[in-house]
Amino acid sequence: MTNPLLETWETPFGLPPFDRIEDAHFAPAIEAAMVEGLAEVELIAINPEPPTFENTIEGLMRTGASLDRVLGVFYNLAGADSTDAREEIMREFSPKLAAHSAAIYGNQALFSRIEQVWLARDALDLTPEKARVLMLTHRGFVRAGAALMGGDAARMKEIKGRLATLGTQFGQNLLADERDWQRALSEDELEGLPGFVINAVRAAGKERGAGGPVLTLSRSVIVPFLQFCPNRALREEAWRAWVARGENGGKTDNRDVAAEILGLRHERAQLLGYDDFASYKLETEMAKTPDAVRGLLMEVWEPAKARALEDAALLEERMRADGVNGPLQAWDWRYYSEARRREEFALNEAELKPYLQLERMIEAAFSCAHRLFGLAFKPLDVPLYHGDARAWEVTRDGQHVAVFVGDYFARASKRSGAWCSTMRSQRKFPDVQGPIVVNICNFAKGDPALLSYDDARTLFHEFGHALHQMLSDVSYEMISGTSVARDFVELPSQLYEHWLEVPEVLQEFATHADTGEPMPREMLDKVLAAATYDMGFQTVEYVASALVDLAFHEGEPPADPMSEQTRVLTDLGLPQAIVMRHATPHFAHVFTGDGYSSGYYSYMWSEVMDADAFEAFEEAGGAFDAEMAEKLERFILSAGGSEEADVLYTKFRGRMPGVEALLKGRGLAA
Ligand SMILES: [Zn+2]
């Protein structure tokens, strides 16, 4: 059988030949590509020549090209247009691909050659970009445990295995607690709830065969219930059940699981030569140190707390007017805050939507990219993987830049959420490759398709990531596009959201589907005001969680995470009617895997930067200031991971980011 996945693609722009690719091609292609990749790596490892940058580091970059190409297609299809066959391939190959990667990182002969190049680096006269990829390659192997010997290597393997098991267990316990709790609601108890909440609890009752409406702990049920249920005792009961997830004793209790995870992470960091897990984790981030993270969070904490306390007083007044005495409690906040929102910031989504047509919002995102970076977009007629996916050629001054694929509509075969990926990343070594960049969203179809304001922001957000990929201009794929620190990667995307809010952009592109009239200014103002409503509460519950996460991973691990959590929150003076957004026993970000452990802060870190970066445009002369746009491209969008994120940001802005713009944006400035 000829397998198109393993051929050279003689297609326009080297796009995958989707009209010829079948699901049956994937498994044999991935198998063959893994074998080929390992053989290529082995040739480098056993090379009798002394190790050099070219024969070892660049040599490694030549390996695995077939696997990259096949997986570039497969992962995109598995996420955007899944089938049973594709899910089966995913299940079969996830462990195989993990073992493949472990075999490369565990190749001692290979690591020894990398180590020799690393030790000789000062004498090699490398370009800055080459020096950077050498450092990243070496660091990647060291962090994976390649330098460990004998008993240490065995212990590391044991720790990794145990951490994987504990992470899964933490998530499953949480799921079990959410699934097992329900509270039957009488018809009387539905009184005062809006229709959509009543529908949700009736649907939950039906789904669970309860013979009547039930309250569950699914976020989409419990949060609206707490917002709208006028029965205070019932709110308290529901809230207590919700915050007790993972903390109910018995087999699903997560408290001991969390303690063991923290202990093992600490041991793992120390085996690798770090003081503690936070130092290990933050080494690769823009923040770099726990002190930098804490410094930033504390600058936001005090103003947020002050706002939250002011808001609490207003909400307590409303509660008194309801005839309830005593202090405002955590189960009261959402209820009185929702009542206040309806009165002061009401937004009519139904009136707003006709102004946000998908087609016009795509045009708006393209138009901003044209004004800022000179990019032009031309529809391409090429075979893709699904009828809803569309492609454009991206050019500048007539020169090819990239292929952009937009796949905007929800369907059953698509994973939920929105994301940006590539089928091919930009690089110049070993050959020049223009990127193929994909944006996937889950918008509702319609004629015309209309977006909510959040949808429109999502479209701009993902397009910001796409620009980071398309404008990338580096030699090596390893540092191309979005291959940057986790606390830096959301800067281009969150920054691009700001252009949606530029009045002249909405004036031109947010036009009514029927009348063609631009969105009225009062409507825009309302949209923007609603976006910052209740930010004191939201910031406080988030920052409290981020600071607890940080404290858990600094220094010796706590024997009892719950008492450490209490200590941190007491020191902070958490307002009494607010709790952590995610308390320890259900803090899935931190305990189900390593992605956000000691890294929950990064959402806010990115927001500080995007606010600060957009302010640079406003200070310079407006959203389309040519000089700032040129700097943004030169130092951030084209630079990928070619330098440390703090260095790149400082080149762009002239200084490190400050929190003032974020406080203003969240309505928290004094
Ligand atoms: Zn993003």
In a domain, 116, yes or no: yes
Taking the centre of ligand 1 as the mean of its atom positions, its distance from the CA of residue 49, in whole angstroms, is 44
In a domain, 646, yes or no: no
The model's pLDDT over 171-187, given as tens digits with 9 standing for 90+, comes to 999 999 998 999 999 99
CATH number of the domain bearing residue 492? 1.10.1370.40
In a domain, 347, yes or no: no
The band of 212, judged by pLDDT with boundaries at 50, 70 and 90, is very high
pLDDT number for residue 525: 86
pLDDT number for residue 544: 97
Taking the centre of ligand 1 as the mean of its atom positions, its distance from the CA of residue 90, in whole angstroms, is 24
Which of 503, 533, 563 is the last residue in one of the domains?
A: 533
Q: Is 168 left (phi over 0), alpha (psi -120 to 50) or beta?
A: alpha
Measure the CA–CA gap between 171 and 168, rounded to whole angstroms. Answer: 5
- Asked if 411 and 504 sit in the same domain, the reply is yes
The answer to whether 496 and 467 have CB atoms below 8 angstroms apart is yes
- Asked if 495 and 406 sit in the same domain, the reply is yes
- Asked if 400 and 507 sit in the same domain, the reply is yes
Radius of gyration (C-alpha) of the chain in whole angstroms? 26
pLDDT number for residue 528: 81
- Asked if 139 and 194 sit in the same domain, the reply is no
In a domain, 169, yes or no: no
Three-state DSSP class for residue 233: helix
Taking the centre of ligand 1 as the mean of its atom positions, its distance from the CA of residue 492, in whole angstroms, is 8
462, 477, 497, 554: which is the annotated catalytic residue? 462
Taking the centre of ligand 1 as the mean of its atom positions, its distance from the CA of residue 164, in whole angstroms, is 26
Taking the centre of ligand 1 as the mean of its atom positions, its distance from the CA of residue 603, in whole angstroms, is 10
Total of domains in the chain: 3
The model's pLDDT over 587-629, given as tens digits with 9 standing for 90+, comes to 999 999 888 999 999 989 999 999 999 999 999 999 999 999 9
**Quick check: is 607 catalytic?**
no
CATH number of the domain bearing residue 132? 1.20.1050.40
Taking the centre of ligand 1 as the mean of its atom positions, its distance from the CA of residue 375, in whole angstroms, is 21
Check pLDDT > 90 for residue 218: no
- Asked if 424 and 513 sit in the same domain, the reply is yes
Measure the CA–CA gap between 223 and 205, rounded to whole angstroms. Answer: 17
Measure the CA–CA gap between 545 and 553, rounded to whole angstroms. Answer: 13
The model's pLDDT over 352-374, given as tens digits with 9 standing for 90+, comes to 999 999 999 999 999 999 999 99
In a domain, 545, yes or no: no
- Asked if 196 and 67 sit in the same domain, the reply is no
Per-range mean pLDDT, top range of 199-203, 343-347, 379-383: 379-383
Taking the centre of ligand 1 as the mean of its atom positions, its distance from the CA of residue 438, in whole angstroms, is 13
Taking the centre of ligand 1 as the mean of its atom positions, its distance from the CA of residue 498, in whole angstroms, is 14
Q: Is 196 left (phi over 0), alpha (psi -120 to 50) or beta?
A: alpha
Range of the domain at 96: 4-105+107-143
Taking the centre of ligand 1 as the mean of its atom positions, its distance from the CA of residue 116, in whole angstroms, is 38
Check pLDDT > 70 for residue 1: no
- Asked if 431 and 511 sit in the same domain, the reply is yes
The model's pLDDT over 82-119, given as tens digits with 9 standing for 90+, comes to 999 999 999 999 899 999 999 999 999 999 999 999 99
The model's pLDDT over 250-297, given as tens digits with 9 standing for 90+, comes to 999 999 999 999 999 999 999 999 999 999 999 999 999 999 999 999
- Asked if 137 and 208 sit in the same domain, the reply is no
Residue 75 one-letter amino acid: Y
Mean pLDDT (the chain, rounded): 95
Check pLDDT > 70 for residue 77: yes
pLDDT number for residue 344: 85
- Asked if 376 and 524 sit in the same domain, the reply is yes
Kindly report the backbone phi and psi dihedral angles of residue 292, in degrees, each rounded to the nearest multiple of 5, phi listed first.
Answer: -65, -40
pLDDT number for residue 153: 94
pLDDT number for residue 350: 83
Check pLDDT > 90 for residue 670: no
SS (H, E, C) 45-78: HCCCCCCCHHHHHHHHHHCCHHHHHHHHHHHHHH
- Asked if 131 and 209 sit in the same domain, the reply is no
The band of 412, judged by pLDDT with boundaries at 50, 70 and 90, is confident
Taking the centre of ligand 1 as the mean of its atom positions, its distance from the CA of residue 419, in whole angstroms, is 7
Residue 69 one-letter amino acid: R
Measure the CA–CA gap between 582 and 576, rounded to whole angstroms. Answer: 16
- Asked if 84 and 189 sit in the same domain, the reply is no
Taking the centre of ligand 1 as the mean of its atom positions, its distance from the CA of residue 14, in whole angstroms, is 27
Taking the centre of ligand 1 as the mean of its atom positions, its distance from the CA of residue 109, in whole angstroms, is 38
Which of 191, 226, 244 is the last residue in one of the domains?
A: 244
- Asked if 138 and 195 sit in the same domain, the reply is no
In a domain, 407, yes or no: yes
Which of 533, 551, 569 is the last residue in one of the domains?
A: 533
Check pLDDT > 90 for residue 562: yes
In a domain, 20, yes or no: yes
Query: Of how many residues is the chain composed?
Result: 670
In a domain, 45, yes or no: yes
Check pLDDT > 70 for residue 634: yes
